[in-house]
Amino acid sequence: MPSVSVLLTVLRELTTNERSPRVNEPDLVMDDPEKVAAYTRAGREDGVMAPVYLYHCAQICEVIRPGDTVIDLGCGPATQLAMVARLNPETQFIGLDLSREMLQRAQSHVEEQDLNNVELRQADITDLAFLQENSVEAVISTMVLHHLPNVDALGKTFAEIGRVLKPYGGLYLVDFGHLRSEKSINYFAYQYVDRQPELFTLDYLYSLRAAFQRDEFKRLAEKYLSGHTRIYSTFLMPFMVAIKSPPRANGDPQVRERLAHIKSRLPDYHKTDLLDLCTFFRLGGLKSALLFP
């Protein structure tokens, strides 16, 4: 059961007349070494983002297959990417990011984990000219799109995804959605202030302020992405928005087991967060078949 403060936030979002403006991230590309370090620390698999990484990992595992080439747009320090790559050793991944600092972190992380199915490349996700039309089996992206400067750049990114993805390819794009009230944005940003470095809290606040509207995602997905993908958001309040293709994998039992193992090792407060995220997405139409069969 979500906490009273979450339910009050939902109520505020449903009733407010406020329309908080979108404010660009101060660092569109994350190059500042201190911020990169804070994001990396909070983001490692036992950090504050652990339940979110696990949730997205399970969603991604549904849309990729052995033998695929998968592009990860804005891989950052590769925490998410390495987690998915470890569970899918027969799939090849290419992580793209514009930030050298992030790519260096990503490279060390991939080497520490001894992964030989991950390649990293410096690239701008709004221009994937190095990839041919219909050349990749799946595209994934987690918590990146709000870094784009405007809706035009978001449209260019979606157009590029539509161009490089093979017909009926796998897709899982997820990001924050724009909340109406500044108070709701502050609520989420400061919710775990005691569990995370201050720089990470600020980064989270800026991310929520920079989030695009659900309707903007929907319009661009309809224009550029194949008709078989669908848009989902957390129930009643689009705190998170996901665009996903139908599942392409039939739930490898080994992947299920390993996801269940990771879930079982989460501390109780992370298990609660994971369940909340699953519940809000499930009520918004998106199931997590591998985590909660």
Ligand X SMILES: C[S@@+](CC[C@H](N)C(=O)[O-])C[C@H]1O[C@@H](n2cnc3c(N)ncnc32)[C@H](O)[C@@H]1O
User: Which residues of the chain form contacts with ligand X (CB under 6 A)?
Assistant: 28-30, 43, 74-76, 79-80, 96-99, 102, 124-126, 142-144, 147
Give 13 or 72: the residue with its C-beta nearer to ligand X. Answer: 72
| Residue pair 247/168 in contact by the 8 Å Cβ criterion | no
Least distance to ligand X, CB of residue 107, Å: 13
| Residue pair 151/212 in contact by the 8 Å Cβ criterion | yes
Least distance to ligand X, CB of residue 17, Å: 30
Give 29 or 202: the residue with its C-beta nearer to ligand X. Answer: 29
The angle subtended at Cα 25 by Cα 23 and Cα 29, nearest 5°, is 150
- Alpha-carbon distance of 31 to 12, in angstroms, equals 35
Least distance to ligand X, CB of residue 7, Å: 27
- Of all residues in this chain, which one has the CB nearest to ligand X in the complex? 76
> Hey, which bits of the chain come out as E strands?
69-73, 92-97, 118-122, 136-142, 165-176, 230-233, 240-244
3-state helix vs strand vs coil in the chain, percent to 5? 50, 15, 35
| Residue pair 99/30 in contact by the 8 Å Cβ criterion | yes
Least distance to ligand X, CB of residue 205, Å: 13
Least distance to ligand X, CB of residue 144, Å: 4
Give 10 or 211: the residue with its C-beta nearer to ligand X. Answer: 211
Q: What is the four-CA torsion angle of 213, 219, 224, 226, rounded to 10 degrees? A: 100
Give 10 or 175: the residue with its C-beta nearer to ligand X. Answer: 175
Give 147 or 263: the residue with its C-beta nearer to ligand X. Answer: 147
